Structure 1
């Protein structure tokens, strides 16, 4: 019964505080059942396969043709998706997760996709041809209209065209006047060409005609008011109609080449007005017919795309699952009979039964009569690290893994980080108002979790906030708690229990003349401790910063040393689990003694000082030796302790001895000397004990080996010589190993000793950022909102409204977002460096199982990023 209970506790607690126990398994699958079994394992997502063909090219593997077929199907689906998005048709996403189709269904999917692609391409080609024809007819319609205007102007005696030298804007060259061209050019027989060109090319087109033809042509052009659709790209373009008059075949050839160079489209235009009218009527009739055909083509295309949009999400899922299965099957080996596939995989020990059930389901679905075989294998390879997470712990585990994935079965810092991370953040961010804003935002994300998760977006900032919603939730909650402790809400205080201070010996005039007064505990303190947090009167005190500085600095050191001590203790559990008795004796014990006898002792002195000494008071504390006047400095005491220096007793008035005792308790000097000596002895203990004990153990093994060889050696002594040679060869390797151990131990010792000092000082950032946050909040209140509260009347209300809006914006932008990010990063550093360095190696690699869910999420994120 007890053994069963221990195994259950190990299974539940072990998965939380250290990674899952993993095992390497060998899997034997029949060829006809392999696809279905891998499909079931993909739905389960608990198996990480190893590549048994690392030297085989990807194009030479067994299922490479199936993978290529899947790639082709994916290409066709992407083409369909692109066309659907182009038409703005919504793609139905029901949230379904269809199973991977059977191999025989691949043919049906391929045929469906082939039919849809061919039909859509044919429709697109027909539509493009119709649009091109429609564009030509439309341009011809505009040419016939505009040229008719040009000829009408010529018949009425107006100037047909003038063409100026682009380099001389004032000078104009007129080639034809009133007698130039009448009735289609009967006075002077001229040739002409008409066409359409992009509007932005007109200036360059004119200049080229002028220079190439030396001013012997003239041009009329008119803009087409409505934009025209480019059939190739679908873009709307603006064009202009032009007509060029010239004389002679040489100029005609030159003009046509220039038009071709500028990609102008030339159209036949009859000279006779009757022919132009007849052609225009024919063009209009053809345009109407084309409009009808185009509408029917677009309707057919729309129906095809709407039908495809209903299933394209499920099609993508099916194809990606098929492709993933064949990619995984390419990692397997074939046995000699070519009828069985062999795989090796990492699996969690607790899930072996679940995996076997999935394999049985796959075998039954495939119709195979041979059951799969799953055998555990022995290996010296380090297994992957697998920490089970849920939506609450996932964010905290991501913070740890960002530093480094835990080594296999190493203590996982994430469970402790769930509490310590938001608490240390709140020590720096302690404000009830700001914490409430953060808490409300996170609570909204938690309550609206499902609809917000369904609205997938590629906004990276929002995804970071949403992924860490539970971290933000706890950070806001803890910030509200520490804000109550500091009694700080938007730089103001809450008067919940009244004040336990009483200002005496002051008149009302003194209070009015001095807006801020220092608080003197000798006269003003009533003597009863405040029930919770800070007394609100400190908000009005002149010496508030002096008091809060001392308080926050000391609690920062206390929290920091407790945090580091906890990290060293967590390392003990690693040593016990891996049965490293040598590390416990040579590392854990001297480390914990060094930290306790020096730095934790300093925190004990702080508590002694808080308890023993108080402000001098004629009633509550009449003894001057226990007053704050006689309280020794903890920092000076600690420095004197490390330097073996006793505090000097000074005379205050001539021969009258100082009544203050330099020691906080009896026997303090002797105890402190003992603590420092033991702490100093811990340094060589950490440096030399482990290499020395390792050398002793190896010598003992060599003695046993030599004794064994002597007893069982050859009578002629050859065995003894061989044993001696083996010992000499092994001795060289051991010397190298011991050198590495000495170097490693030296680095580790120096890092720990110096780190204990620097890490303790690093926790002062809790005090510094807390003070900075409070002061910035107070400055923002005094410089912005306070000015609005002093205004009166209707104008004062408008000013207050504007100042409040500015104050609220700055509060959210600077004090919540920027200060919150700063405190978050500092908290992250305290955990990664100061805490985790005491026990966490982080040299493992993540367990990456074959999971359809992960593959589909990755593919979805990739496609969204590409869009």
Structure 2
């Protein structure tokens, strides 16, 4: 990112703004050294006015169900301030056409909210059909209804002159019916702060509640009709709405540029940020209108003003930025997590959600969700739905490899539920499955479930899950070192990022050691890793007599020493930082350094690495949830027949419930856990996320 300073004659102001909008890659900023304090009159005032018009227009389009996409053309035959005033008046006239309908909709919504509030108040007593007016006329008793707290309820229960019946409400309070002798407890109840429940005209809570309910239904019907009228009116003019929205958004950006301009008697000054690769293009555009432009390239670290961050991703995968934005925008010196998030996020999702049928449903939902985001004009919804589309595609692939389609019955059949009890009773898709049976059999040593899973499959999958974690943590720590180098902060590199890299090299080397053996035979890899882990466990439990019988045992012992030395290095680094910046005593620095750089580092090494076992856990949970519902479906019909299962309403209902749980609940949990693995295990090793997003001024319509 480079910082550009533009100097030109005042009469070129509007031409410069137009060229910058067409360029679309310039973010204006207030000049660091202004040539004067003069500004362009009206620019800042008009920004607020134009933004208000944009908000109102979006409300109208949203109510009408119109896609919030700007389009059209904007003719520039005058200066930008005059154009802004003209378009603002045009927007005001357009809003006036819908003012009455909008006011009516707002009034109806207000009335609906009022009656719904009344219903919420009446709900605790809505089953009582006796009118409150009649209850108030009793000769010997006072009967009142009230919402009381737990403290008030305890006081009432301790009063022997009062009878109280109560029911717990969702908010933790109680709906209470309080009965006492006529006129004896009024002062006492007032002192407790108990307010008497009342209804309009003293009618019964039941009648009052249903009356409010009927009014809400009636108003909602009127609202639907009114919105339909508005929708039809807007849709008839949809093209002019989109064009007006595009004009307003373009003018907003033009005014934003003008508001940053400094004006002297003869010249204007404008500063802003431009991607380095676009510098020459901007210079060529401004040279044509005799504007002088100079560029400064910020240092990686130590700037008084932090440049914005521009991540240039291909359009098809740019949606992955939505995941990063949840964590924060990268600083300008950071490597963007998008580099490997593009690959790791969908893969981890697919490994945790291996069912082709359920993944297809998620895929179709994602497409609908994307269209919903388009209609709402929400880029976040669109981007998240695209990420879910990519992830569900990978889940379809893993489901095909695992031979799972809405659970085990359609492919594996009853034989998969119990091979010894139902031999040969396979599903209708068994022989027509897209992935050959030979491939699934060759992966049997790695699949912890299914008809071909082996006795050691779960152990192998645990090792595979942790191997993925060790690789991800190593790469994350390595990127942390690269970021420190890009930041050009040697202290940050030596005392913060280098110790982490040294620590997380060890688990990667441990779980990569068996790769040569596993190239020709996958089982050999897992046998080698089990041997290494066995040696490590033995050496840890017997530190005075390490096992050094062979090269694998020696390697295991070296890794233990490596981890110990790396943690000690991290401890010393923490002591130095505490002593240098916290100004604590050497004793306190050593103690705190051990807790933060020694004990905590060792604990995080273990927990972060093992945390990736959740890949196996969620894959197993998904499979056995559907396995359980499939078995219950078989038990319902009571006969070993797939035809009976798929024609019984009860068994079909059970299978549907199981899949809905897997798709809705588990799919959401897997998505969240996927983000957690990235945010806490991976991003914490290298990603700061305190940058500012590059927000260039651009045109949303064709300028003519």
What is the TM-score normalised by the length of structure 1?
0.51
Cα distance change, pair 572–493 in 1 and its aligned pair in 2 (3 A): farther
Secondary structure of 2:316 counterpart: coil
Q: What is the CA–CA distance in structure 1 between the aligned matches of 2:58 and 2:421, rounded to whole Å?
A: 76
Aligned counterpart, 2:174: none
**Equivalent of residue 492 in structure 1, options 397, 408, 411:** 408
1:24 maps to 2:7: no
Which residue matches 1:639?
537
- Measure the CA separation in 2 of the matches of 1:587 and 1:112: 53
Is 2:39 the partner of 1:37?
A: no
- The alpha-carbon deviation at position 665 of structure 1 amounts to 5.6
Deviation at 1:848, TM superposition (A): 2.0
Aligned residues of 1:789 and 1:800 also touching (Cα < 8 A): no
Whole-Å separation in 2 of the counterparts to 1:420 and 1:397: 14
Equivalence for 2:390: 474
C-alpha contact 2:72 2:242 (8 A) present in aligned 1? no
Tell me the equivalent position of 2:480: 571
- Cα distance, 1:427 vs. partner? 1.6
Equivalent-residue separation in structure 2 for 1:554 and 1:93 (angstroms): 49
Correspondences of 1:379-394 after superposition (within 5 Å): 380-381=303-304, 382-394=306-318
Contact 2:49–2:88 (Cα < 8 Å) also in 1: no
> Which structure 1 residue ranges, 5 or more long, are not aligned?
1-21, 125-165, 168-202, 205-232, 237-303, 364-370, 504-509, 517-527, 616-626, 648-661, 696-731, 857-867
DSSP 3-state at the match of 2:463: helix
Instruction: Report the CA distance shift for 1:106/1:480 in structure 2 as closer, same or farther (over 3 A).
Output: same
1:293-312 correspondence runs (5 A): 311=240
Shift of 1:468: 2.9
Residues 610/800 of structure 1: CA separation in 2 closer, same or farther (3 Å cut): farther
- Counterpart of 2:633 (choices 784, 790, 805) is 784
CA distance in 1, matches of 2:322, 2:652: 38
1:807 aligns with 2:691: no
1:99 touches 1:318 (CA, 8 Å); kept in 2?
Answer: no
Matched, 1:532 2:442: yes
What is the alpha-carbon root mean square deviation over aligned residues?
5.8
| Structure 1 Cα separation of the partners of residues 554 and 642 of structure 2 | 71
Cα contact 1:487–1:533 (8 A) shared by 2: no
Q: Is residue 432 from structure 1 mapped to residue 356 from structure 2 by the alignment?
A: yes
Partner residue of 2:257?
Answer: 328
Distance between the aligned counterparts of 1:119 and 1:768, measured in 2?
55
Matches within 5 A, 1:78-227: 95-99=71-75, 102-103=78-79, 106=82, 110=86, 113=89
1:108 deviates by 11
Distance, in Å, in 2 between the alignment partners of 1:557 and 1:788 is: 41
- Give the match for residue 289 of structure 1: none
2:468 to 542, 546, 559: 559
1:756 is displaced (CA, Å) by 0.9
Cα distance in 1 between the residues matched to 2:448 and 2:500: 44
Q: Give the one of 560, 571, 582 matched to 1:687.
A: 571
For the pair 1:342 / 2:269, whether they are aligned, the reply is yes
Give 1:820's aligned residue.
667
**CA shift for structure 1 position 824:** 1.0
CA-CA distance at 1:567 after TM superposition: 1.6
What per-residue deviation string (whole Å, max 9, x for no partner) do you get for residues 192-228 of structure 1? xxxxxxxxxxx99xxxxxxxxxxxxxxxxxxxxxxxx
Query: Does the residue aligned with 1:28 lie in a helix, a strand or coil?
Result: strand
**In the superposition, relative to structure 1, how do residues 378 and 66 fare at CA in structure 2: closer, same or farther (>3 Å)?**
closer
Unaligned runs of 5+ in 2: 101-132, 135-199, 202-221, 226-232, 427-437
SS in 2 for 1:421: helix
CA 1:816–1:529: 2 relative to 1, 3 Å: closer
What do the CA deviations read for 1:491-549 (whole angstroms, capped 9, x no partner)? Answer: 328989xx9xxx9xxxxxx8689999xxxxxxxxxxx99753228997458xx696443
- Taking a change above 3 Å as real, the CA distance of residues 643 and 805 of structure 1, as seen in their structure-2 partners, is closer
Question: For residues 301-353 of structure 1, what are the alpha-carbon distances to aligned partners after superposition, in whole Å with 9 as ceiling and x for unaligned?
Answer: xxx99999874543454355345423432222223xx2211122111111112
> C-alpha separation between the residues in 2 aligned to 1:28 and 1:593?
50
How far off its partner does 1:843 sit? 2.7
* Kept after mapping to 1: 8 A contact 2:405/2:411: no
Distance 1:664 1:609 in 2: 23
- State the secondary structure of the residue aligned to 1:468: helix
Preserved CA contact (<8 Å) 2:461 2:616: yes
